[in-house]
Every structure is written in C-alpha cells, then in structure tokens.
Structure 1
Amino acid sequence: LGVFGGGLGGMGGTGTFACRLISSGSLGIELGLMALGVGPGANVAVCAYDYPGNFRAIELLGARPVLVDAALDSYSISPDSLRDIESDQVDVVIASHLYGVPAQVAEIDAICRDKGWNWVEDACQTPLMAIDGRFAGSHGDLGVLSFGGSKPLTAGNGGAILTRNPLLVSKLNARLDRPSDATPVSSLQAAALLPQLDRIAECNRRRADTVRRIVDEVPWIVESLHGICPAPSATCYKLAFLSPKRDHIVDSLIRAGLPVGAGFRSMHRSSKRRCNKIGELNRSAQLGDQVCLLDHRALLAQGDSQDRLIECLRRFS
C-alpha cells in the first residue's frame, strides 16, 4: 500500500520500522496494548476526554484505565498530569491526536522514557500529519491509524499499526498471522485508499484554507477556540470549538444545513470501580460538555460553497 503497506517494509523518513494493515483502528489500539503486555493487573493511562473506545479496549483486556486530564492547550492528554503519576501506578499510556491539534509528543515521550512506560500514539484522525518532522503515529512505541467511517483516508473500514520495535513486530505477527492474515484490509479497500494517498496533501491544504478563513472572518468561533487552532499543516478531520450552549449551537447549525455535531462524551464521571482518576479532571469535563465539531466535509468547501459556509457561520455571532 505504498506509504502504509509493504508488510515489514520501511516507512521512509517517518522513523517507523514496520506497518501492519488491520481491519480497524479500534482493533489496532487493542492489539497494540496486547503487544505491550497489557492484561489483567495492568494500568493504562488515558485521557478522560478521548475516543471512548480506547477506554473500552483497556477494559476488554482486563486492565484498569487510569484517567488523566486533558491539556489546556489541546484536546489531548496533559503531560503535566502525567508527570504527577508515580512510576508504579501506570504501565502504558495512550495519547490521541484530536481535531487537527497534536498531542505534545516530545514531552509525552520524555515522561514515558523517564518513568519506564510504553505509550501508544492514537493517530486515527490524523494520517500523514507532520508533527516535529515526522508523521503522526511514528512517535510512540506503537502508532495506530484508522481508515474507517469518514476519516481523511477512508475505505469504510480498516486501519494500521506502526512500530519501529522489532520485538513488537514479532508479537503482532504472532497474533495476526494464523497462518493467513486474521484481520486483513481487503484488496478492494486498498484500491479505494490508493488514490486518496495522492490527494491527501491537497485535501489538507483545502481544509486548512477553510479553517484560516473561519479564524479570520468568524469572530465568535475565534473566541470559542481559546487559542487552540489546527496548524496550517494539520490533517484537520474536524474543527473543534467550545460553547457552554453546545446543544443550542449544534441544533441551530444543523438546521442551517451544516454537518455539525457534539464531541466525545467525557469519561470523568466513570465509576471508581471501573477506573482510577488522577486529579479533578476539570478540563476533560469542560470538553465533554462544550466541544462542538464542524465536519471535514464542510472544511473541504471551496469557492462559492466556502463563501456560503463562512456567511452561515457569521450569522450566529
């Protein structure tokens, strides 16, 4: 599959040793945790505001989620909160890149190395997004991509696991080769993905152009971003903005014909029987209550369509 395929082939300048194509990103998180030895008795740190399937993957393996707050300058796990955790309280960390705003990979990696933790980089929303000179998914011990749903690279389903660790490659191969591929991406799915690889840079440029116009021309959204905005080079799956009147804003924009929805449900209210919690998780609670998402279908608008999108958004100021 070129960039993502090739079995155990290299990943060029990403620093990633190998790539395995699989049937979904959700399965990729579960397989990645298994390869890192997560099972009954293990503790996995995950942001309380994250794709809920990551919390569930930890539980399915018999491990215990350790909920950590989101950073103030992104929608991802807070490095400051990770620093406050004792080394023996966690075995593995999951860090996700959400809404075109990357997690602080350099800090997360340094903390994990210092405390002896492995970490999984959930890049399901951000295929081929550059972070610190390397692709998203190539910074952690394992990275996971998704080609499901309406992702920026989509085949309706599918995903990939990336790693530069030969031992993890061996563990993944042992689970995935039985001896045939147990969770394959089909030839038809690969055929759907291939032409998208040639277009993703242009699609990212178009989305970034729309985000730039929104930031320049829609004051109420700029205010709601609180300084958190995708970089021009981001793979912007959805544009997130915050509102204490989220349900009203979302309903109004949907009636206006825009593809808008609410963000993830925060897991901060989960019972202490199911998880451990680090701190008050106030930022995660805020995100769970207030995040609104403008889908990337709208961000791909150009010309007159983009003008109408901007005008529609401005009417809600």
Structure 2
Amino acid sequence: MMTKLAIDGGTPVRTAPFPAWPVHGEEEERLVLEVVRSGKWGGTAGRKMLSELETTFAAMHGAKHAVTLVNGTLGLTVALQSVGVGPGDEVIMPPYTFIATATSALLFGAIPVFVDVEPDTLLLNPELVEAAITPRTKAIVAVHLAGLPADMGRLKEIARRRGLRLIEDAAQGVGASRAGEPVGALGDVGSFSFQMGKNVTAGEGGIVLTNDDAVADMAWSLANVGRIRSGAWYQHEHIGWNLRMTELQAALALGQLSRFESQFARRERNAALLNELLAPIDGVSPARRPSEVERHAQHLYVFFLDDALATPENKAEAIRRLQAEGVPVAAGYVSLNRNRAVAADIRKWTGETRSYDCPVSERASDSRALWLHQNVLLAEERDMYDIRDAVRKVMASFA
C-alpha cells in the first residue's frame, strides 16, 4: 500500500533543509578585508583582485582574455556588441533559457530569433539552426543550460560556413567541458555570471572570455565608457558605459574559487547518483548527458515527467507533492517564444508581430521539466536517497 502523502497528512520523507547557499568562510573574509583596508574598492585604480580573477578565470577555461563586468546580462550585451551585432541584426538563440539571453540583445535593438531545443537535453538543437538563418542573421547564442555544454562543435561548423558569430551564454557553465574543451571561449566570446545563485557568486557580477584580441579590446572598451587600453583617461574612442565590476566583488569571487573544484566534484557525484536512483522510477527520467561531456557544471539538476504523465496539471501537482515531501523542486523557465514582454519588445524594434514554433521548449516549460538547484547537490550522498524516496512516493501517487 502506498505511503500517505505529506500533503494529505502523511509523514514527509524529509524535514531537514538542504545546504544553504552561498557557502562562505575565512577566505572570503580575508580577501574582502584586504580590499577594504587597501582603500581601492572600485574597478579602475589598483585592480589587484580583479586582475587576479580575470587571469584565474581565463586559465580555468582555456581563454586568452577575460573582462569582468557588472553582471552576466550586460556581459552578453557586451559580447554581442563586441563581435559587431547591431540594431536590427537577428540573433538565433534557444527559447528555454533565462530571459536575459533575449533581453541582452533587445537592450540595443538586436532581434532574438528562437530556435527549438533538443527534447532530452533542452540545449539548442543544431539540426534546426540553419532553417532559421536569414540575410539579417548576425550571430548564434549557444546556452549551456543547467551547466551542460551545448554542442559547440556542430554550432561552430554552422557559424563558420554561414559567416556568423558564435556567442556562449555560459552563465550556468563555470568549469564545464565537452569533447575535451572547456566552455567560454569555444566561440567568438562567452559570458558568465556571478549572480547570487550561481556556482561561483560575488552577489552580482560577470565576466566575458575570448581568444580574439580585437574582441577583447572592444569588450574592455564597452565596459570602460569607450576608453581604449593604451589611451588617456578622457580619450573615449567608442560609445561605452561604466560596466566595471568592483574589487570587493572580485574578492568574493576569488574566495569562492578556492573551494570550487571540491564543490564541482560533489555536485557531479551526487548528480550521477541521482541519475541512477531516478532512472528505474516509473513516471520520471533524468535529462540526457551526451557521452562527450566530461564536466557538467550541474548548476541545475534537470529531470522530466514521462510523456504519459506530462500535463500542466500533473506537473503542478507533482511539484506541490514533492515540495511537501521536503524536496525543493522547481518548475523551470517559461519558454521565451511565448513571453509577452519579449514579444512586445521585438514588435517595438521591428514593427512586426513575430511568432516562433518551439513545441519542445513549450512542452518542457508547461508539462515536462523539473529542476533541483545546485545547492541541493552539495548535500550528503544519503540525502540523494531521500530525493529518490520522495520522487518514488509521489510518482506512485499518480498510478
């Protein structure tokens, strides 16, 4: 007989909280205090912590250049502009992503063109990209959703052959790699986020990576009110903005990096265990990890309701029941091709009402995809069995 659900008055599988985020300690305190005592807090004079962060982060991802910025959203804006995307240019991107992927383009009048995702990874589907290319297409944005690297090999081939620029939205992908290559500088330029919930956080902040000298110089200029690296203080050669990250934020990010690899390994171990534990349960299936992915950042643990169960009503009820059992599952993104604010802004810039057919993304959003955030994967191994037990209990309740 099925155990009584917690929402019906039964005993929850667990009542203990999962690990809090962010994790911090003496290293962050030491580095922040060093900055405070230095009197050099901003993003210009001194730049000890910022320079160290840029050097360290670039080396982690096999990149030649790094430029720190105020956040990942404006990092994407700078990335797009640094490769020459301008107002009216079209930018291909997946719809199953945070809204910033689209708004980073819309901020200056570039137009998102939504191309559907793969059903078992929710990554941009390379098979559908070429059909969306028009004479106005200037770039492709690959999103490393949940920390799972997109298929950059295939996307690079398309971009090269069609004369397009390739940008990585790596906000969730710190430390990830696929086919022997770290994300972030596989395309022309990549953008990462240090926002509060990210696997490396400074509260806010971001960084862009590139192997292209000219792109790096332009990104630096755009983030430094149009100055050039070798120029005078009031020599503004481009229109740019003050998008500089501060020394205080860099200190926090460096402190976070001191424990990054151990946290990365724990997330990977627990995600692999969850995959094993959830696979036999009727009603759910883990997201697919392509065999060539060596390192998955596991910013999100994504799993799906099976087709027979996947309705909006069942998804909402599964979330309600799992949360009552002590598992902090989340519903995930609303597919951006159906976001009214994004549609309105596209109409503002183009004068057109555009529609995009993205049934896989829409179905994931409406009825299939469920998430666990990265802090859950920092729990102990035994806690993964609690998640298994809760999922099994809830799925049995739908039988």
Name the TM-score, length of structure 2 as normaliser.
0.72
Corresponding position of 1:118? 165
Q: Aligned pair 1:213/2:273, yes or no? A: yes
Match of residue 92, structure 1, among 123, 134, 139 = 139
Relative to 1, partners in 2 of residues 1:33 and 1:239: Cα closer, same or farther, differing over 3 Å?
Answer: same
Is this contact kept in 1: 2:172–2:199, CA < 8 A?
yes
Is this contact kept in 2: 1:32–1:161, CA < 8 A?
yes
Aligned residue pairs total 314
Structure 2 SS opposite 1:38: coil
Is this contact kept in 2: 1:298–1:309, CA < 8 A?
no
- Write the letter of the residue equivalent to 1:5: E
Is this contact kept in 1: 2:101–2:169, CA < 8 A?
no
Q: Aligned pair 1:62/2:109, yes or no? A: yes
Give the Cα separation in 2 of the matches to 1:3 and 1:133. 25
Corresponding position of 1:171? 218
Structure 1 SS opposite 2:119: coil
Match of residue 296, structure 1, among 357, 374, 399 = 374
Q: Which stretches in structure 2 are left out of the alignment for 5+ residues?
A: 1-49, 228-232, 234-240
Give the Cα separation in 1 of the matches to 2:172 and 2:260. 13
Give the aligned CA root-mean-square deviation in angstroms: 2.6
Is this contact kept in 2: 1:10–1:18, CA < 8 A?
no
- Write the letter of the residue equivalent to 1:114: R
Give the Cα separation in 1 of the matches to 2:184 and 2:283. 31
Match of residue 283, structure 1, among 360, 363, 382 = 360
Measured after TM superposition, the shift of residue 21 of structure 1 is 0.7
- Write the letter of the residue equivalent to 1:265: V
Relative to 1, partners in 2 of residues 1:5 and 1:170: Cα closer, same or farther, differing over 3 Å?
Answer: same
Is this contact kept in 1: 2:89–2:136, CA < 8 A?
no
Q: Aligned pair 1:145/2:192, yes or no? A: yes
Give the Cα separation in 2 of the matches to 1:102 and 1:12. 18
Corresponding position of 2:54? 5
Q: Which stretches in structure 1 are left out of the alignment for 5+ residues?
A: none
Relative to 1, partners in 2 of residues 1:250 and 1:13: Cα closer, same or farther, differing over 3 Å?
Answer: closer
Within 5 A, what are the aligned runs for 1:195-274? 195-219=255-279, 224-225=284-285, 228-229=288-289, 233-243=295-305, 244=310, 245-269=314-338, 271=343, 273=347
Corresponding position of 1:189? 249
- Write the letter of the residue equivalent to 2:273: R
Find the structure with the greater CA-based Rg. Answer: 2
Structure 1 SS opposite 2:140: strand
Measured after TM superposition, the shift of residue 160 of structure 1 is 0.2
Measured after TM superposition, the shift of residue 116 of structure 1 is 0.2
Corresponding position of 1:72? 119
Is this contact kept in 2: 1:205–1:232, CA < 8 A?
no
Name the TM-score, length of structure 1 as normaliser.
0.89
- Write the letter of the residue equivalent to 2:275: V
Corresponding position of 2:394? 316
Structure 1 SS opposite 2:336: coil
Measured after TM superposition, the shift of residue 53 of structure 1 is 1.5
- Write the letter of the residue equivalent to 1:161: V
Give the Cα separation in 2 of the matches to 1:56 and 1:110. 26
Give the Cα separation in 1 of the matches to 2:170 and 2:281. 25
Measured after TM superposition, the shift of residue 15 of structure 1 is 4.1
Structure 1 SS opposite 2:264: helix
Measured after TM superposition, the shift of residue 101 of structure 1 is 2.3
What are the superposed Cα offsets for residues 169-203 of structure 1, whole Å, 9 maximum, x if unpaired? 12112222246892232222222222322322221
- Write the letter of the residue equivalent to 2:333: F
Structure 2 SS opposite 1:268: helix
Is this contact kept in 2: 1:66–1:275, CA < 8 A?
no
Give the Cα separation in 1 of the matches to 2:274 and 2:187. 32
Corresponding position of 1:39? 86
Structure 2 SS opposite 1:84: helix
Q: Larger deviation: 111-120 or 169-178? A: 169-178
Is this contact kept in 1: 2:117–2:361, CA < 8 A?
yes
Is this contact kept in 1: 2:53–2:253, CA < 8 A?
no
What are the superposed Cα offsets for residues 63-84 of structure 1, whole Å, 9 maximum, x if unpaired? 2221111123421211111122
Give the Cα separation in 2 of the matches to 1:265 and 1:222. 26
Measured after TM superposition, the shift of residue 10 of structure 1 is 9.2
User: Between the two proteins, what is the percent identity of the paired residues?
Assistant: 25
Match of residue 96, structure 2, among 49, 53, 57 = 49
Measured after TM superposition, the shift of residue 311 of structure 1 is 2.7
Q: Larger deviation: 143-152 or 267-276? A: 267-276
Structure 2 SS opposite 1:262: coil
Measured after TM superposition, the shift of residue 19 of structure 1 is 0.1
